Every structure is written in structure tokens, then in C-alpha cells.
Amino acid sequence: MSLVNDTLGKLKAGQFDVLESDYKKSGYHLEVKLNETQVQNFARMMYETEFYLDFVTAVHVAPCFQVVYQFAHFNEACRINAKAMANEAREIPTIADVFQGAEWHERETHDFYGVVFTGHPDLRTLLLSEEDADLKPLLKKEDKLVSVETITRKSEAEAEKKPVKKNIEE
């Protein structure tokens, strides 16, 4: 678990809002909350510590979009889930200049949600046909839209307050 701890230390030193997460429950070791200005620095740090980008996607929630980045490492098991809120203009800085592979992930996210990645070299449609550029098929309907808080995984302290059913393992 040394890589997880190392990275946790580095992220904390870099002033990132980072939490350790139970891998068995969540599927990732570290959870990072980013704000718009931190995205690029975070990506650069991931690049320097030899993480690779697994995917970029978005979640349509009440105030705006939550953009999700997931990173992992080839040498040791360490998955990092980073979430950042796009601003009201649906914009968030691109990380395609750091991880070139992010270019298509961001194009796909732009296709389906309409998140604008500022500084992206080419935001044409990737998976949708050109005439559907304004379709944004994965947006939720008004009545199905929920706030960020509802879909955020609660920390262990908060979760303990509520009676939880016993796991089969126990």
C-alpha cells in the first residue's frame, strides 16, 4: 500500500482535497475533490507520478456537471477518482495537453453531455454523427435531475449514524 500512502502524502502536500477510500466498497483507493483551477495541476501531478488516465466522463447533476477523472498505476494497485464541478457556463479546463489520450475522452463527454473543455484542440463530435452535434443524449430530464449531495458517497462517520444492514462477510 506504499504507493497509495505516498500519493496521499503528495496530494495533501499539493493542497488537494483528498480522502482515503475503501477500495472494496468504492472501487478506488483515493478520492480527490477538485475545483476548476486545480484540474490542470492535478493532471500534471498525476503525469509526473506516472499514473495513467483510465477514463473521463461526466455526471449530470443539479447545479451543473460533475466531471469525473479516474487514474490508475501500472506498478501497484492504486486507483484515484477525481471529481470536479464544471462552472455555470458548462466549462472546465482540458487535460488533453497533459494526457494526450484525454482528447477523445473529452470529445466523447462533450458529445454526450455538452461539457465544454476549454483549450481542447478539437471538440467536433466523435461518436455521434455531425448533424447530432447539439443532441446531448445523456442529459437527464428535469424531474430526474438530483443534486450533487444525493449522489456523493458519504464519509464513514456520516454513514455510521444510519443503521446499516450487516454485510454477508461479517
Partner 1 sequence: MGEENKIKGINTFTQSLREEYECGAVEHQGAMLSQLLLTDKVLKVCQANSLWPMTFGLACCAIEMMATGMARIDMARYGAEVFRPSARQCDLLIISGTVNKKMAPAVITLYEQMPSPKWVIAMGNCAISGGPFAVEENYNVIEGVDRLIPVDVYIPGCPPRPEALIEGILKLQEKITGGRHPWPQRKMPANPEVIKI
Q: How many CB atoms lie within 10 A of CB 168?
A: 5
Please check whether residue 96 is in contact with residue 121, taking contact to mean a CB–CB distance below 8 angstroms: yes
For partner 1, give the closer residue by CB, 134 or 158. Answer: 134
DSSP string, 52-107: EEEEEEEEE-SSSEEEEEEEEESSS---EEEEEE--TTSEEE--TTT-TTHHHHHH
For partner 1, give the closer residue by CB, 136 or 153. Answer: 136
Least Cβ distance, residue 135 to partner 1 (angstroms): 6
For residue 143, the one-letter residue type is D
Least Cβ distance, residue 23 to partner 1 (angstroms): 33
Least Cβ distance, residue 63 to partner 1 (angstroms): 24
Least Cβ distance, residue 129 to partner 1 (angstroms): 5
For partner 1, give the closer residue by CB, 106 or 111. Answer: 111
Query: Per-residue b/e over 115-146, b at no fewer than 16 CB within 10 Å?
Result: bbbeebeebebbebeeeeeeeeeeeeeeeeee
Task: Report the interface residues with partner 1, using CB under 8 A.
Answer: 127-129, 132, 135, 137
CA neighbor of 10 nearest in space, from 40, 43, 49: 49
For partner 1, give the closer residue by CB, 31 or 111. Answer: 111
Least Cβ distance, residue 107 to partner 1 (angstroms): 14
The C-alpha angle 103, 47, 4, rounded to 5 degrees, equals: 125
For partner 1, give the closer residue by CB, 1 or 127. Answer: 127
